[in-house]
């Protein structure tokens, strides 16, 4: 998800992928996925997790890590973080001025939630969660699948990936708090990028109002 902020063209391609899978567009081919993800060593989170079967088919040799999480804690966390962002009127408004980044990201993420959760996260979120886990377990061969608890530490993860254990402390963060911090930063950067267009819009409206008032007085 964060990569769509770094390269807004990703939002355009993800939106095409969403339309291809969920809304009758052209399904992505291996060539399309390579164009979108060819520079990546791994993918996680939305939008990628909405395309589990497609990515598993496109990259059959890839290893898959299924991070197990208690469904209610996930649901409550999503309500307070991702779902709130998707319904933010401020976020939607900023997109009109920061058209090259948020103007692409917001429509893409809203379309994604509409597709994955049938436009109703509160009603369908838990069902989509269960279906996602069942789909991955059914499609990925046992030797390429690791079911992992985030708090387990490095050993099982590194053994599965066949890489050495790094000489750093295993990360331990408050994901909800980190998400909110990233959102605040995202908003600030979007406002900075969109400020010139916002100022120009305000000046244009003010000039138009002044001209209308002047024309009314003359008439």
Q: pLDDT for 34-48, tens place per residue?
A: 999 988 889 988 899
Q: What is the DSSP letter of 219?
A: -
Say if 210 falls within a structural domain.
no
**What global pTM score does this model have?**
0.77
Say if 205 falls within a structural domain.
no
Say if 79 falls within a structural domain.
yes
Best CA proximity match to 66, nearest among 138, 169, 172: 138
Q: What is the DSSP letter of 27?
A: P
Total number of domains constituting the chain:
1
Q: Please compute the mean of the pLDDT values over residues 67-84 and round it to a whole number.
A: 85
What is the domain-level CATH number for residue 144?
A: 3.40.50.300
Q: pLDDT for 173-193, tens place per residue?
A: 656 666 666 666 667 766 677
Domain extent, residue 20, equals 3-193
Say if 107 falls within a structural domain.
yes
Say if 128 falls within a structural domain.
yes
Determine the Cα–Cα distance for residues 84 and 95; give it in Å rounded to an integer: 16
pLDDT of residue 106: 84
Say if 204 falls within a structural domain.
no
Higher pLDDT, 197 or 126: 126
């Amino acid at each position: 998800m964060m990569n769509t902020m770094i390269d807004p063209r990703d939002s355009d391609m993800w939106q095409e992928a969403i339309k291809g899978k969920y809304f009758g567009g052209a399904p992505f081919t291996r060539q399309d996925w390579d164009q979108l993800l060819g520079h990546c060593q791994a993918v996680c989170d939305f939008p990628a997790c909405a395309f589990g079967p497609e990515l598993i088919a496109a990259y059959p040799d890839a290893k898959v890590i299924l991070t197990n999480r208690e469904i209610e804690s996930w649901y409550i966390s999503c309500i307070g973080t991702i779902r709130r962002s998707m319904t933010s009127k401020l976020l939607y408004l900023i997109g009109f001025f920061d058209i090259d980044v948020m103007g692409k990201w917001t429509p893409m993420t809203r379309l994604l939630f509409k597709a994955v959760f049938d436009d109703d996260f509160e009603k369908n979120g838990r069902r989509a969660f269960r279906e996602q886990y069942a789909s991955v377990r059914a499609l990925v061969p046992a030797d390429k699948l690791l079911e992992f608890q985030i708090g387990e530490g490095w050993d099982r993860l590194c053994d599965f990936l066949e890489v050495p254990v790094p000489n750093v402390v295993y990360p331990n963060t408050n994901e909800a708090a980190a998400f909110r911090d990233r959102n605040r930063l995202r908003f600030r950067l979007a406002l900075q990028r969109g400020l010139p267009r916002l100022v120009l819009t305000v000046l244009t409206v003010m000039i138009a109002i002044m001209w209308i008032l002047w024309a009314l007085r003359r008439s």
